[in-house]
Structure 1
Amino acid sequence: GAEHLARIHGTEEDRVNCPFYFKIGACRHGDRCSRLHNKPVFSQTILVSHMYQNPIAQVIAQNGDPASLDQRQVDEDFEDFYEEVFEELCKFGKLEELNICDNLGDHLVGNVYAKYEDEEHAAAAQKSLYGRFYAGRPLVCEFSPVTDFREARCRQFDEGTCNRGGYCNFMHIKTVSRSMQRELERMFNRGRRDKSRSPSRSRSRSRSASRGRERHGRGHSRSRSGSHDAPKGESSRRKGSRSRSPSPAKKDRRSRSRSHSPRSPARGSKRDTPRTEGGVVEKKD
């Protein structure tokens, strides 16, 4: 009956719905799968397919040797990518999780999963990313059924014992350091607090200015209005101090990773698509 169907939904016993799509949000059979892929019309989680350009996958595609890669450079480039994506996606709301697959299989390679605190935030992100480009490639963004990543991730990979390698059908989630994760979360929380406080500060300044004009007349109001230029500068300086200043080591890492990045065009070359500072570009005309 209905109770039995509900119990087996998304499990291996379910002969109608694909358990891998239900748990992972992707299936190696794709459209050829014999079971249904029930794509949600809304979700807390969005999937941006193949957004991360896995350097190992790129080397393998060119019949190269992955062992030739500089792992330190790979990790530094990944941190830059993670930071770009985190900052872009946080514009739409608070992220509960940002998971990027390190798998090599066609259905999982480079997949970016972003789980928001609220479905409305996920919907805003999905709508905004639709039709945009990253590294010259169109972004394919859709809602994902995955909301519990404990079922999606490979436990053996997390323990360092997965013998299936990059072609495992469960998520091999590539992580950044805990210190970087905390830094990004602090930056988001600080930005949200500043955003919520700024309207009240401007209202209080305008009220004090109007009271000053009423009490002291036009001449004094001119001097007061002139003094209001200082908080603007102070505010901009404060804003500048709030922005994260990377350490000299990180600045050096950034300059090296940018110079080696495949997204940076050679001098005099012509971009196929315009790019914003954050890496995610606007829609083509």
Structure 2
Amino acid sequence: MAEHLASIFGTEKDRVNCPFYFKIGACRHGDRCSRLHTKPTISPTLVLSNMYQRPDMMTPGVDPQGQPLDPKKIQSHFEDFYEDMFQELSKYGDIQCLNICDNLADHMVGNVYIQFREEDQAMNALQNLMGRSYEGRPIIADFSPVTDFREATCRQYEENVCNRGGYCNFMHLKKISRELRQQLFRRVGGMAGVEAEATALLAVIMTSAVVVPGEEWKKQESEGKKKQESVRESSAERRAKIELWNKEREEADSAIDNSSKIDDVNRGHQRNDSPSNVKKPNPSEEENGNYDF
């Protein structure tokens, strides 16, 4: 029973724990959810709830005064906020990833997720964020159960085909420019930046066809063995053995011929020296082998 409960924990089959909270760290039902939202006591991931305030929160692409906003300005505003968060949070540990939701639903709008390399680094960051504020708004930080953002992210959003828009229940993670990512992770993140790039490269490798090094080595080893076998087949030693076999065969054939000639001569002598009245063997005796030459 315990194994069964462990196998379905955090899935749709789990009637006790909320799968959305387990995967995403947030649920649209909030405290009214019929399933449990079990907050972790320790985790490498922190969530800063409703931290990012979009300039077009009321209506996408439009400011609070109803004026249209340039998408470049919206992106610039977001990247300024991202850089502020990264530089501050990197003081407490090595950041593996920093994700900010682009969703519009109340339980996910502006949520900031920070995953550190170690759990004690996340604990250090949480302790230092307690009681602080950003632009006059208090920071609401807590441990998050999210550890695998691939399970929490909306794949349709990444392909620009999500029909739920900003009210999707999976994470719509807003992207920063490649230049800013390289700048932050290389300058501030140190080894964390290297690992983040390695993680991104690994994700690309996992979704593409690659040659497995072990299989390539096996192929080379097999080809090497074939080459060695071909060398042995054409070596001087092999040719010498063939010559020896031919010579032995010729000598054996020659010995058989000489033996046949000697037998013929002996038979001729016996016929000449034997008296004429020697009884010839009868055919039946020849068949039975009861005679001597």
Bucket of the pairwise TM-score, normalised by the shorter protein: 0.5 to 0.7
Equivalent residue for 1:139?
Answer: 139
Equivalent residue for 1:28?
Answer: 28
Q: Secondary structure at the match of 1:55?
A: coil
Shift of 1:182: 1.1
Shift of 1:63: 9.8
> What is the distance in 1 between the residues matched to 2:116 and 2:139?
19
The two structures have a TM-score, normalised by structure 2, of: 0.62
Q: Percent identity?
A: 57
Per the alignment, do residues 153 and 98 of structure 1 end up closer, same or farther by CA in structure 2, a change over 3 Å counting? same
Q: Secondary structure at the match of 1:68?
A: coil
Equivalent residue for 2:158?
Answer: 158
Per the alignment, do residues 189 and 142 of structure 1 end up closer, same or farther by CA in structure 2, a change over 3 Å counting? closer
> What is the distance in 1 between the residues matched to 2:133 and 2:6?
39
> What is the distance in 2 between the residues matched to 1:65 and 1:135?
20
Corresponding letter in the other structure for 1:50: N
Per the alignment, do residues 181 and 4 of structure 1 end up closer, same or farther by CA in structure 2, a change over 3 Å counting? same
Corresponding letter in the other structure for 2:143: F
Q: Find runs of 4+ consecutive structure 1 residues off by over 4 angstroms.
A: 62-67, 189-192
Equivalent residue for 2:126?
Answer: 126
Q: Deviations over 1:84-116 (max 9, x none)?
A: 000000000110010000000000000000000
Corresponding letter in the other structure for 2:101: C
The two structures have a TM-score, normalised by structure 1, of: 0.64
Q: Secondary structure at the match of 2:57?
A: helix
Equivalent residue for 2:72?
Answer: 72
Equivalent residue for 1:169?
Answer: 169
Q: Secondary structure at the match of 2:91?
A: helix
> What is the distance in 2 between the residues matched to 1:66 and 1:178?
31
> What is the distance in 1 between the residues matched to 2:185 and 2:13?
40
Corresponding letter in the other structure for 1:116: F
> What is the distance in 2 between the residues matched to 1:188 and 1:63?
33
Q: Given that residues 25 and 146 in structure 1 are in contact (C-alpha distance below 8 angstroms), is that contact kept between their aligned partners in structure 2? A: yes
Q: Secondary structure at the match of 1:120?
A: helix
Corresponding letter in the other structure for 1:159: E
> What is the distance in 1 between the residues matched to 2:158 and 2:179?
19
Q: Given that residues 51 and 111 in structure 2 are in contact (C-alpha distance below 8 angstroms), is that contact kept between their aligned partners in structure 1? A: yes
Q: Deviations over 1:236-263 (max 9, x none)?
A: xxxxxxxxxxxxxxxxxxxxxxxxxxxx
> What is the distance in 1 between the residues matched to 2:189 and 2:172?
28
Corresponding letter in the other structure for 2:141: C
Equivalent residue for 1:244?
Answer: none
Corresponding letter in the other structure for 1:41: T
Q: Kindly indicate whether residue 7 of structure 2 is the aligned counterpart of residue 13 of structure 1.
A: no
Shift of 1:178: 1.6
1:44-55 equivalences under 5 Å are: 44-55=44-55
Q: Deviations over 1:139-171 (max 9, x none)?
A: 000000000000000000011110000000000
Corresponding letter in the other structure for 1:32: R
Q: Given that residues 92 and 121 in structure 1 are in contact (C-alpha distance below 8 angstroms), is that contact kept between their aligned partners in structure 2? A: yes
> What is the distance in 1 between the residues matched to 2:191 and 2:18?
41
Q: Given that residues 18 and 37 in structure 2 are in contact (C-alpha distance below 8 angstroms), is that contact kept between their aligned partners in structure 1? A: yes
> What is the distance in 2 between the residues matched to 1:169 and 1:65?
28
> What is the distance in 2 between the residues matched to 1:63 and 1:69?
6
Corresponding letter in the other structure for 2:19: P
> What is the distance in 2 between the residues matched to 1:103 and 1:2?
36
Of structures 1 and 2, the larger Rg is shown by 2
Corresponding letter in the other structure for 1:15: R
Shift of 1:20: 0.2
> What is the distance in 2 between the residues matched to 1:118 and 1:27?
26
Q: Given that residues 96 and 117 in structure 2 are in contact (C-alpha distance below 8 angstroms), is that contact kept between their aligned partners in structure 1? A: yes
Shift of 1:190: 5.4
Q: Which runs of 5+ in 1 are unaligned?
A: 193-285
Greater relative contact order (Cα 8 A, min sep 6): structure 1 or 2? Answer: 1
Shift of 1:128: 0.6
Q: Secondary structure at the match of 2:125?
A: helix
Equivalent residue for 1:86?
Answer: 86
Root-mean-square deviation (Å): 2.1
Q: Secondary structure at the match of 2:96?
A: strand
Per the alignment, do residues 190 and 26 of structure 1 end up closer, same or farther by CA in structure 2, a change over 3 Å counting? closer
Q: Kindly indicate whether residue 91 of structure 2 is the aligned counterpart of residue 114 of structure 1.
A: no
> What is the distance in 2 between the residues matched to 1:150 and 1:88?
25
> What is the distance in 2 between the residues matched to 1:44 and 1:146?
9
> What is the distance in 2 between the residues matched to 1:189 and 1:34?
41
